[in-house]
Chain A
Amino acid sequence: MDILYKPWPWYVAGPLIGLTVPLLLLMGNKKLGISSTLRQICAACMPAHIPLFEYDWKKDGWNLFFVTGVLLGGFLGGYAFANPNAVALSASTVEYLKSQGLLDPMGLMPVELFNWSSLITAKGFLLMVFGGFMVGFGTRYAQGCTSGHGILGLSALQWPSLVATMSFFIGGILFSHFVLPFILAL
């Protein structure tokens, strides 16, 4: 039964993630792309006569079922059958995080950063509220995220998706090296 709780190595998780692409196409000519659901929620809840949100979002209703499934998958893999051990990070990452004042890694998220009471601190606000805002703003501006461009677009050998994925990584790498340490030190 141990196997249910263990994390999966990259060579198991990666191909399964990739198989989502043909699965969605074969089931109904659907394109993997999760940031679209953020647009759908805007269109459904507060379109406010903004052209971007004046479209037939119900046509893409399947995607809202899909992300409900993603949430349930997170519950199954990360809560019901959660790995009891810490994420097997490299020693240098653990050392770096400790030097930034983080506790020993536990679970998938550092609870000392991501919790309700830290939301009203500068650090928590930047990590969750400001970070989330940039995820939503940036993915819509780029017309896709790691799933739509990184997995689907690259699988379809679309060069704009390669530029997009490189931009995602350059943004992430620059930010985590040069800005994040200052935020964690707050």
Chain B
Amino acid sequence: MKNFKYLFVGLFFGLALTKGEAISWYRMQEMFRFESFHMYGIFMTAIPTGALSLFIIRQLKLKTFDHQPIEMPKKEYHNGIILGGLIFGFGWALTGACPGPLYAQIGSGSVVTIITLASAILGTWTFGKVQAYLP
């Protein structure tokens, strides 16, 4: 079970999301209405932390703990970045959740979010089905 360790990283990530209230529907409304710095503060500290870590990994040519090379993430541009991004934004405002917080919301006791997650899976499936016809 070499993958089991990732459960603990997920737990750490989920705990930080939850205790930072980044899974809260209320906090998302507040963010989209520019009425608090809280969520922006999370993004503005999370991203530089990630960027600085990547910089260190690259500069020191660090390897994984089991001595495998680390590849830097690369993201390609395509039309879905904007169109899909906007559609996701609409869903984000409705559900108050990105995919990560969906899982954390279920854990936090909002069991009905299982339906939202199931619907998100169906949305991904539907995208796969119609992908060929989209710009």
Contact = CB atoms under 8 A, between A and B. Distances in A.
Contact of A74 (B14, B75, B125): B14
Nearest to B58: A156
Contact of B99 (A27, A37, A143): A37
B133 interface: no
B3 A61 contact: yes
Contact of B134 (A46, A109, A116, A141): A141
Contacts of B113: 109, 114, 128
B75 to A, nearest CB: 4
Contacts of B24: 87, 108-109
Interface string A145-183: 111011111111111110111111111111111011001
A77 B47 contact: no
A22 to B, nearest CB: 4
Interface string B8-22: 111111111111111
Interface of B: 3-33, 35-51, 53-54, 56-57, 62, 64-66, 68-78, 80-100, 102-110, 112-113, 115-129, 131, 134
Given A34-B100, A62-B6, 13 more contacts: A10-B39, A16-B16, A18-B49, A19-B49, A28-B65, A29-B64, A42-B121, A96-B35, A108-B26, A119-B115, A127-B94, A139-B98, A157-B51
Contact of B32 (A145, A161, A172): A172
B117 A132 contact: yes
A133 B91 contact: yes
Given A17-B46, A136-B121, A119 B104 contact: no
B124 to A, nearest CB: 4
B105 A167 contact: no
B9 A66 contact: yes
Given A93-B36, A134-B94, A156-B72, A78 B25 contact: no
A53 B84 contact: no
B70 A147 contact: no
Contacts, number: 521
A23 interface: yes
A30 interface: yes
A12 interface: yes
19 contacts: A13-B19, A17-B49, A24-B9, A27-B6, A70-B100, A87-B26, A93-B26, A110-B26, A114-B112, A134-B123, A136-B91, A136-B123, A137-B87, A137-B124, A139-B88, A141-B127, A151-B46, A170-B85, A172-B89
Nearest to B50: A155
B92 A168 contact: yes
A9 B113 CA distance: 25
- Max chain A C-beta neighbours (<10 A), residue from B21, B68, B71: B21
Contacts of A168: 85-86, 88-89, 92
Given A16-B16, A173-B32, A136 B37 contact: no
